[in-house]
Amino acid sequence: MAITLYDLAGAEADRRFSPFCWRTKMALAHKGLEFETVPWRLTEKDKLPQPNAGRVPVIVDGGHVVHDSSTIAEYLESHYSDRPALFGGEAGRALTRFVQNWTETVVHAAVLRFVLLDIHRHIGPVDQTYFRQSREERFGMTIEEFVKDRDQRLPAFRDDLTPLRRTLERQKFLGGGGPVYADYVVFGAFRWARAISNFELLAADDPVAAWRGRMLDLFGGLARKSPAYGS
Amino acid sequence: MAITLYDLAGAEADRRFSPFCWRTKMALAHKGLEFETVPWRLTEKDKLPQPNAGRVPVIVDGGHVVHDSSTIAEYLESHYSDRPALFGGEAGRALTRFVQNWTETVVHAAVLRFVLLDIHRHIGPVDQTYFRQSREERFGMTIEEFVKDRDQRLPAFRDDLTPLRRTLERQKFLGGGGPVYADYVVFGAFRWARAISNFELLAADDPVAAWRGRMLDLFGGLARKSPAYGS
């Protein structure tokens, strides 16, 4: 029986923009597991299977409900250990956490200041009300103010990608010759932005953009199948 | 026969301050290999065994001369594959490169602007002349100007350590329960600074400082045996 994934959707059911859900979709495909997605909206807390933390991704695999992208990755690695490895052993698993912490504190934090208003534009009216209120409270300013000056912030963001760029200049994936979960973690951030924003994060000749293209090509172009901006 | 390591030294022969040599010393100890170090100064290009690139670390292991810290790590991992792993497989090796690129572009770049003048103070007169001239040419300013305002730059540096801090809050080492080469790469930067500077990079309650203490304790306190500032 296919795994079910509750996947964050915009006003259009097939516009999937959660960076955390993209991690999970890529991880499921990496393991060669069949899955179907259920579009889920920010305000549909009561439509998730139990247990959950009010957020996606949540997967249902037979009798197991697993939530939180990191927990899901661990679950998939241990329950499907005969399939391609997401981490590649203890060192790989531990170092993946560093990549994840870098992604969340450097990349996500910056991307949010590029695309917050674009997220708002792509969700339905009920979600918009919730989203505006919760984000404006969290950030202490309007969504419009939060993303103002994004053009000026772009060069610093591209500079902050230097460790990623330097790595991908010398190897095809963060995992080396092939992708690992760390690739999906970083890719999630870029796929998130493309889902809802035409603001281009990368210069066309950036090695990171070439890697993003390789990521989009994986698993029969899985990540190209949901609406996105950009090439 | 013990491995010989050419190791960067200050005016005092036992003051060893190269971050790259510290990587190698920790890697040799990780593999449980005996080694002796030869103090080497910046201007002693002709005293290195061939082949070399005019820099340390260089090791001599029986008939093999290997130079460049990354090449040495690869050499140790493949020639001593029956001993504790530095990388832990292909994914671990590939992700270590990301940690290394982060270390060199984020940590080293910042530390240099804290300690460049302190390096100058700890090397002999011949090295000082070479060092001042080459660094002032490279950076387009005097050494004194280069490190001026270092107090003001400290908070941003500590912020930049967030991915490292967040990882080490949740696991003892970058490698998880035990250290791997990625730990030695990051540690090299901190051990470098301590060798020649009393400028404290970390707050006392920083989880990164606790990890640095664990690193100093490894291998019978190997990294405590060379002169250093700080606790």
ipTM reported for the complex, 2 dp:
0.96
Closest CA to B112 of B83, B78, B138: B138
Q: For residue B176, list chain A residues with Cβ-Cβ distance below 8 A.
A: 90-91, 93-94
Percent of chain B scoring above 90 in pLDDT: 98
CB contact under 8 A, B176 and A93: yes
pLDDT tens by residue, B66-99? 999 999 999 999 999 999 999 999 999 999 999 9
Q: If interface means Cβ-Cβ distance under 8 Å, which residues of chain A face chain B?
A: 85, 87-99, 101-102, 105-106, 162-164, 166-167, 170-171, 173-177, 180, 182
Average pLDDT, chain A: 97
User: Residue B58 pLDDT more than 80?
Assistant: yes
pLDDT tens by residue, A97-156? 999 999 999 999 999 999 999 999 999 999 999 999 999 999 999 999 999 999 999 999
In this predicted structure, what is the pLDDT of residue B101? Answer: 98
In this predicted structure, what is the pLDDT of residue A129? Answer: 97
The total number of residues written for chain B in this structure: 231
pLDDT tens by residue, A51-87? 999 999 999 999 899 999 999 999 999 999 999 999 9
Query: What's the CA gap between B185 and B24, in Å, rounded?
Result: 9
Element (H, E) at B60: strand B58-61
Cα of A166 to nearest chain B Cα, Å: 7
Angle at B206 (CA atoms; ends B152, B106), nearest 5 degrees: 55
Bridge partners, A3 (sequence order): A35
Percent of chain A scoring above 90 in pLDDT: 98
In this predicted structure, what is the pLDDT of residue B230? Answer: 81
In this predicted structure, what is the pLDDT of residue B231? Answer: 59
Radius of gyration of chain B measured on its C-alpha atoms: 17
Distances (CA, A) of B13 to B25, B49, B122: 16, 19, 11
Q: Which of A87, A106, A163 sits opposite B91 (nearest CB)?
A: A87
Inter-chain contacts counted by CB atoms under 8 A, chains A and B: 111
CB contact under 8 A, B94 and A174: yes
Q: Which of B101, B166, B171 sits opposite A163 (nearest CB)?
A: B101
CB contact under 8 A, B173 and A89: no
In this predicted structure, what is the pLDDT of residue A174? Answer: 98
Average pLDDT, chain B: 97
Q: For residue B92, list chain A residues with Cβ-Cβ distance below 8 A.
A: 88-89, 91-92, 95
User: Residue A225 pLDDT more than 90?
Assistant: yes
In this predicted structure, what is the pLDDT of residue B1? Answer: 79
Dihedral sign for Cα B196, B202, B208, B212, please: positive
Residue B174 · residue B186 · CB < 8 Å? yes
In this predicted structure, what is the pLDDT of residue A231? Answer: 59
Closest CA to A115 of A8, A191, A33: A191
Cα of B91 to nearest chain A Cα, Å: 5
Cα of A113 to nearest chain B Cα, Å: 18
The total number of residues written for chain A in this structure: 231
Q: For residue B89, list chain A residues with Cβ-Cβ distance below 8 A.
A: 88-89, 91-92
In this predicted structure, what is the pLDDT of residue B142? Answer: 98
Residue A184 · residue A76 · CB < 8 Å? no
pLDDT tens by residue, A15-42? 999 999 999 999 999 999 999 999 999 9
Q: If interface means Cβ-Cβ distance under 8 Å, which residues of chain B face chain A?
A: 85, 87-99, 101-102, 105-106, 162-164, 166-167, 170-171, 173-177, 180, 182
CB contact under 8 A, B180 and A95: yes
Query: What's the CA gap between B213 and A98, in Å, rounded?
Result: 19
DSSP B108: I
Residue B42 · residue B130 · CB < 8 Å? yes
Secondary structure of A49-90 in HEC code, one letter for each residue = CCCCCCCCCEEEECCEEEECHHHHHHHHHHHCCCCCCCCCHH
Secondary structure class of B3 (helix, strand, coil): strand
CA-CA-CA-CA dihedral for B166, B169, B174, B176, to nearest 10: -130
Percent of chain B scoring above 70 in pLDDT: 100
DSSP string, B182-210: HHHHHHHHHHHHHHH-----S-TT-HHHH
Interface probe with A: pick from B30, B77, B86, B95, most Cβ of A within 10 Å: B95
- Tokens 């730990």 locate to B183
pLDDT tens by residue, B94-122? 999 999 999 999 999 999 999 999 999 99
Stated pTM of the model: 0.97
Average pLDDT rounded to a whole number, residues B196-224: 97
DSSP string, A161-176: THHHHHHHHHSSBTTB
CB contact under 8 A, A166 and B105: yes
Predicted confidence band at A90 (pLDDT cuts at 50, 70, 90)?
very high
A62-65 long-range contacts, CB within 8 A, separation 24+: A62/A1
Average pLDDT rounded to a whole number, residues A159-180: 98
pLDDT tens by residue, B115-161? 999 999 999 999 999 999 999 999 999 999 999 999 999 999 999 99
CB contact under 8 A, A171 and B89: no
Q: How many CB atoms lie within 10 A of CB B14?
A: 12
